Amino acid sequence: MTFLGKLLAAMATNRSPLCIGLDPDLERLPAHLPRTPAGVVQFNQAIIAATADLVCAYKPNIAFYEALGAGGWEALQATLQAIPAHIPTILDAKRGDIGSTAQAYARAAFDELNVDAITLSPYLGSDALAPFLEHKERGCFILCRTSNPGGSDLQSQLLASGEPLYSYVARLAAERWNEHGNCGLVVGATYPGELAAVRAICPGMPLLVPGVGTQGGDLAAALAAGGDRTIISVSRAIIYAGPGIDFAAQARQAAYDLHSSR
């Protein structure tokens, strides 16, 4: 099954656009868990078990695991193994390099970790994306209009045509990079106007939309702007919803509140 097929099936089964980011910070783990890679695995496993019927995907950010050294890689592998097979996994790695480096990154994500999709940076252009896109069954979410304020430094800059850079990236994705139907775009919920503009350019493409929750993006506005195939990515507002021994139950409640507020 392709990534898009798996995503749409999970969305339909759980009636949910919610993707939970599994971004474990040792300093924010509940006090009863060890601040070690093993504690991270326990934390993630509990979050997954408590929320698997409320999501369409899980998205671990590789930085939180790389920061733990060799044990972090093992914790990431164990986390991915804990995710039910019918729920897609999106590796938030924002890779973007050329030649053999990009090929190695693609092998690490798709062959070693066996994730269903990955986030990518388009700054180095088509040849940096190609080693990922050639994996026809896997999803590739390309950074377009990110949720952080500093994204405007580049993404909102106008080209000679008068078109903003983020819009041009969306057009490249629609017209050149989506040959295998496995492209998606990352567009922040913090910019619903830009989100609507990207959706108009890419009507059938999945959009990964961070920024709801801690960053202040509005869920209803994001869903209205993004329409179908919009994946709402929430991390800290769910996984750190409660600091105590009942953290998983608190995470489930936070996920359920978002799930039911659509």
Active site members: 94
DSSP 30: -
Q: Which amino acid is present at 223?
A: L
Instruction: Give me the DSSP letters along 211-238.
Output: -BSTT-B-HHHHHHHH-TTEEEEE-HHH
Residues 133 and 181: beta-carbon distance below 8 Å: no
Token pair listed for 193: 């106007």
Angle, alpha carbons 257-258-261 (nearest 5°): 80
Residues 82 and 45: beta-carbon distance below 8 Å: yes
Question: Helix H segments across 67-191?
Answer: 70-82, 99-106, 126-133, 152-155, 165-172
Starting at the earlier edge strand, list the strands of the sheet with 139-145. 57-60, 18-22, 230-234, 207-209, 183-187, 139-145, 117-120, 90-95
Distance, C-alpha 23 to centroid of its chain: 11
DSSP 89: B
